[in-house]
Structure 1
């Protein structure tokens, strides 16, 4: 319970104490969005890594060489825990924004920080609004800022990490229309930090693995039409390997 309190307190203090910095960055963003993004992402990334450290967890990063150095990409991952976001954002060395649920737009201070780091808010109940978010994501990856999506449609609380829900195909249109690669990402061990025994937090061995980028134009037509299913199969394969390695 102490770890939970420390993490929650750390987030609260960050949001409150850095209000002046946030306001300055919001002003800078109007003139130099690249500068505001660079500073905000560095700050948020450091805070997220600190929160993971507080839980006692250690993160192993695999396959970082698979992340294209130039241009935007679409990161696609499984999603079992809030700590997936902390891990992905904290350890991915590339400008990016997460696609978050629309309800987050109503959280003061947090909303502003999310906007500063190029997060997009997806309303799954409003098709028109959802389409606008996808279009915004397409424009974002074209500009060189990557987008991260979790196409399972929410946290998958199944204890079996390899039991990944079917992906929502529509969200991968960001890569298809934006003409950017898809980087499949497998995240292991985050569920065991908190969701497995809420409200208590426990240390866990976390692994984040970036798979080889998927270039859509190089895929057969059948796999292009089912890009979500194809990407999901790559993530499941990585997760199965992690499970096998940890059993050995």
Structure 2
């Protein structure tokens, strides 16, 4: 429980103490938006790394060279833990917005930081609103901001259960922009927190980045079921890495 308490103190403390920073970043953005964006990115990455250090998370990263430099991409991963966001976001080389459930927009300060970092809020129950979110993601990729999505739709809370089928519409951001899809396989992340909630345990996890997938280079059948195609690649990485933790 000590780790859990320390993590709560760090997260809540950051959100409260960062109120002046949000105001300062807003002012900086009036004159130097790129500088504001990068400083916000690095600050939050530092806090995420601190949380993982306190939690005792030991990360093995495979295939990071597969992430293209200097271009926006769509990160796609399996999702079993809150820590999936911390682990992956802390390694983003440039601006990256995450697609989150719309319920998070109600959380004060946290939602402000998420908006500041180009995150989008998806309403899964309203097709029209969901489409607007995907279109916004397309615009952000075109503007050079990478996006990250977990196409299972929600965290898969059973560590022994297979991945839920990927929602095909989630990958429209890559189809419509032609950007690379970067498959991410996260192994053993639920063992950090969810498997023994509310305790946080020191765990070894594996994050593997697959080779870039460019939708336009795929055969027609694979393009038609891009979600399933990407999910199969992630599953192969998960199967391969299961014995390494």
Counterpart CA distance in 1 for 2:46 and 2:244 is 29
Give the corresponding residue for 2:216.
217
After the TM superposition, which residues 60-71 of structure 1 pair with which residues of structure 2 at under 5 Å, given as runs?
60-71=60-71
Q: For residue 142 of structure 1, what is the aligned residue in structure 2?
A: 142
Q: After superposition, give the CA deviation of every residue in 1:23-81 in whole Å (9 maximum; x if it has no partner).
A: 11123334433222101110001100110110111111111100011211000000000
Which residue is equivalent to 1:49? 49
C-alpha distance in 2, partners of 1:60/1:29?
35
TM-score under structure 2 length normalisation: 0.97
- CA distance in 1: counterparts of 2:169 and 2:29, whole angstroms: 30
Contact kept? 1:36, 1:116, Cα under 8 Å? no
Match of 1:231 in 2: 230
Superposition RMSD on alpha carbons, in Å? 1.2
User: Conserved in 1, the CA contact under 8 Å of 2:99 and 2:147?
Assistant: yes
Partner of 1:160: 160
How many pairs align?
245
Q: Is the 8 A contact 2:38 2:94 kept in 1?
A: no
Task: Give the aligned partner of residue 25 of structure 2.
Answer: 25
Contact kept? 1:137, 1:147, Cα under 8 Å: yes
Contact 1:183 1:214 (C-alpha < 8 Å) held by counterparts: yes
In structure 1, the residue matched to 2:92 is: 92
Aligned counterpart, 1:170: 169
Corresponding residue of 2:113: 113
- For each residue in 1:154-213, what CA deviation from the matched residue of structure 2 results, as whole angstroms up to 9, or x when unmatched? 00012137x211000001000111120100001112100100000111010011111000
Aligned residue number for residue 76 of structure 2: 76
The 8 Å contact of residues 56 and 203 in structure 1, kept in 2 or not, is answered as yes
- TM-score relative to the length of structure 1: 0.96
**Could you tell me which residue of structure 2 aligns to residue 203 of structure 1?**
202
Q: Structure 1: state its 5+ residue gaps.
A: none
Q: Any stretches of 5+ residues in structure 2 without a counterpart? A: none
Q: Distance in 1 between matches of 2:130 and 2:187?
A: 29
